[in-house]
Amino acid sequence: MSLAGMRCLVTGAGGFLGQRIVCQLLEEEESLAEVRGLDKAVSSEALQNFGKVKTKTLLTIMQGDIRNEAFLHKAVQGVSLVIHAASIIDTVGLVDKQMLWDVNVRGTQLLLETCLRNDVPYFIYTSSIEVTGPNNRGDPIYDGNEDTVYQITEGFHYGNSKKEAEKFVLGMDNQPLKDGNSFVTCALRPMYIYGEGSPFFLNHLDESILNNRVFLRISRKEALVNPVYVGNVAWAHIQVAKAMRDPTKVKQIRGHFYYISDDTPHLSYSDLNYELTKELGFGIEAKQAMPLMMLYCYAFLLEIVSFLLQPFVRFVPTVTCHLLTMLNTPFSFSYRKAQRDFGYMPRYKWEEAKQHTSQWVAKITPLRTASLKTHTV
């Protein structure tokens, strides 16, 4: 099946992943009628990236708040497919819990309700590996799947907000539409996403530049995860969207979630940073700055300080116990179910993904270096 002639709305279109989804939709050989990119703000860089794509598909940029019902009603008019990639991502507690809930959960609910009222038939939700874990004990998973039983830990606000939003999305599947058909929903849970434009990688890159182009070891070598290239995550969204329109595949997709990974080697987060940059002359520390247990004690101390200062000033620790657990727990999942149910296969091989990312790093490193020198003088 193809997406030819469809109107598609992509939320979070100005973000790291959202941009790639929009570009791949515009690149489709059989043109869509329209791609609407929705975000609270879309950077000039994102607009330039969209402008580079040769396409016959109409691109409409819509800037507004996902919590605004009137705006959402306008955004979904005439749309057949919604890809909901908008989200506040917060791994260290920078964002107020209520804000996370308002955007990630309530915003998703409003969008779902608006789609139902306007007979939008297909809805894909970009979930997160963090709805699964790791839990606070750091229980590992090696090559897990959608049936893997795992005892999660409540209390991590970002993961909880994504889990609750995903629950609403999957629970809305098969709701009746006015035209006699029924609503079709599914969710994709990508592993840690890397690639050109990654905001998380930029933080590590800056740290390495200040450390004489040597990456800090924030995760131990044994903490193997299976990161996924941003182009392949975007491609999974396109593939499942096509399968939703296929009568032979839609029954096994609807109401389900899927883990999305690719053939990127299983590495720790720190070793991934090194693999992507070693040909550019970057190095990596052989071991963590202090034993992991001492790092936990340090993080716990910072959390206590944050709690004590709460009545007077908002202090957000740079490292938390949860973050340390996430970075140091083996946690990997297979994409076999996505391959079986909707034919997902990575569009980019590891070497190609690595090359694209390294070229981007080579381009931005001089700019980051100059900027850091200016701010440290």
CA distance 152 to 114: 31
CA distance 4 to 65: 28
What one-letter code names the amino acid at 166?
A: E
Closest alpha carbon to 113 in 200, 105, 18: 105
CA distance 277 to 273: 7
Q: Which of 158, 229, 274, 335 is catalytic?
A: 158
At residue 236, φ and ψ (nearest 5 deg) are -60, -40
Q: What is the crossing angle of helices 350-376 and 230-244, to 10°?
A: 130
Closest alpha carbon to 257 in 153, 123, 348: 123
HEC states along 169-210? HHHCCCCECCCCCECEEEEEEECCEECCCCHHHHHHHHHHHH
Q: Is 158 a catalytic residue?
A: yes
- Per DSSP, the three-state class of 284 is strand
The token pair at 147 is 């049936």
Catalytic sites, residue numbers: 158
